[in-house]
């Protein structure tokens, strides 16, 4: 280090300083500016890429949320359709049961009406047969009574007594 101080020359120092400052200015104008611009451009590109990645991530979250919402709506709609189908099925079954009951009641009423009319017809037939039998019996009794003249007079007298 002593040797350096002994060989120091002010003129050389000024020239070296002048050249160094010139070199720094040249580098600043032609090298550092393009290098810094490239670094800044790269930094801006990285920021843009990060922003785009963040936007893509947010968009993916939105799409995922939309998909989940659509799935939820689809499930809700499916459940509503199944419920409606069950209600429709139950309604159809209830209507069919009601119709069957109505038809059964009609058949029962018709059967009862038929039975009642046949019963009335049978009773009328029995009454007619009883009446015919009664008339036949009465006819035989009256013939037997009217064959004898004394009995006829006696019967007429009894009837006249009852009428009086």
Decide: 106 and 100 in contact? Cβ < 8 Å: no
How does residue 164 score in pLDDT terms, banded at 50, 70 and 90? Answer: low
The pLDDT value given to residue 37: 85
How does residue 38 score in pLDDT terms, banded at 50, 70 and 90? Answer: confident
Query: What pLDDT digit, counting tens, does each position of 4-20 carry?
Result: 677 778 888 899 999 99
Decide: 152 and 145 in contact? Cβ < 8 Å: yes
Distance of CA 63 to CAs 48, 51, 52, 53, 83, Å? 22, 18, 16, 15, 30
The pLDDT value given to residue 108: 94
Q: How far apart are CA 5 and CA 61, in angstroms?
A: 70
Q: In the structure encoding, which two tokens stand for residue 63, read together?
A: 């799409």
Q: How far apart are CA 137 and CA 130, in angstroms?
A: 10
| Longest pairwise C-alpha distance within the chain | 203
Query: What's the mean pLDDT when you consider all of the chain?
Result: 87
Q: Which of 2-6, 49-53, 159-163 has the lowest mean pLDDT?
A: 2-6
How does residue 111 score in pLDDT terms, banded at 50, 70 and 90? Answer: very high
Q: Is the pLDDT higher at 85 or at 33?
A: 85
């Amino acid at each position: 280090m002593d040797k350096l101080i002994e060989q120091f020359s002010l003129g050389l120092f000024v020239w070296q300083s002048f050249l160094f400052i010139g070199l720094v200015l040249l580098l600043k104008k032609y090298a550092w500016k393009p290098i810094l611009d490239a670094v800044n451009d790269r930094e801006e590109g990285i920021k843009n890429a990060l922003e785009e990645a963040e936007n893509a991530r947010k968009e993916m979250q939105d799409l995922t949320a939309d998909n989940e919402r659509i799935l939820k709506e689809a499930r809700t709609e499916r459940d509503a359709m199944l419920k409606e189908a069950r209600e429709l099925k139950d309604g159809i079954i209830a209507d069919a049961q009601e119709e069957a009951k109505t038809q059964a009641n009609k058949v029962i009423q018709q059967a009862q009406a038929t039975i009642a009319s046949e019963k009335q017809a049978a009773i009328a037939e029995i009454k007619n047969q009883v009446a015919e039998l009664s008339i036949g019996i009465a006819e035989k009794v009256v013939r037997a009574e009217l064959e004898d003249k004394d009995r006829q007079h006696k019967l007429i007298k009894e009837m006249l007594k009852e009428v009086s």
